[in-house]
Chain A
Amino acid sequence: DQQVKQNSPSLSVQEGRISILNCDYTNSMFDYFLWYKKYPAEGPTFLISISSIKDKNEDGRFTVFLNKSAKHLSLHIVPSQPGDSAVYFCASSGSARQLTFGSGTQLTVLP
């Protein structure tokens, strides 16, 4: 039973447009959510996070939105750049601090 789900395995976006990556979770004990970016043969790179007490966190071109009642979060990238092309993982954490990952979404930003 997957506790963190990314239902879109892939997403293609034109350069300069908005990329929206979605993530759903089932465990209500999760209280911290993170997005990671991963290139092949490299470790995940931390992008942005949000605590369950907030509904939005912004860092430059990246914004994460959290809808606790729907157990849904999303990552917005504006404007998208070709260098953003990578696999994006959503991860959730609770009091134990270990991360539970989604299956990832391959983002391709087309020039």
Chain B
Amino acid sequence: AAGVIQSPRHLIKEKRETATLKCYPIPRHDTVYWYQQGPGQDPQFLISFYEKMQSDKGSIPDRFSAQQFSDYHSELNMSSLELGDSALYFCASSLRGDFSYEQYFGPGTRLTVT
């Protein structure tokens, strides 16, 4: 079965640079979630989109923005990168219209800021 696809899998950037992470949800899923997992930490919710509209916002810095496109894929844009942004970034998708709470995660993008 098709899973959530994230690209790139690894990304190395320097401080103050920008980065764009992409997420392709499971086909038919209408909701995308972004999570950040720092070293030794549990995943923290950043932001979510339902039917291309921002749904909820968590601990996402103002330097980050995201959107969901007409084909339901989502992009997380990160500017003025800081060393502390180094983390695993997970995207998850779900079918909210099915009243489902289960979220299915992609393999993650490992961002390293040097």
Contact = CB atoms under 8 A, between A and B. Distances in A.
B42 A97 contact: no
Interface string A12-46: 00000000000000000000101010000111111
Interface in B73-114: 90, 92, 94, 96, 101-108, 110
Interface string B24-50: 000000010101000001111100100
Contacts of B104: 46
Given A42-B107, A43-B107, A98-B33, A89 B42 contact: yes
Contacts of B105: 36, 43-46
Interface size class of B (residues with CB under 8 A): 20 to 34
Nearest to A45: B105
Interface stretch (A56-64, A65-73, A100-108): A100-108
Interface size class of A (residues with CB under 8 A): 20 to 34
A93 B101 contact: yes
A32 B101 contact: yes
B66 interface: no
Interface of A: 32, 34, 36, 41-46, 49, 89, 93, 96-104
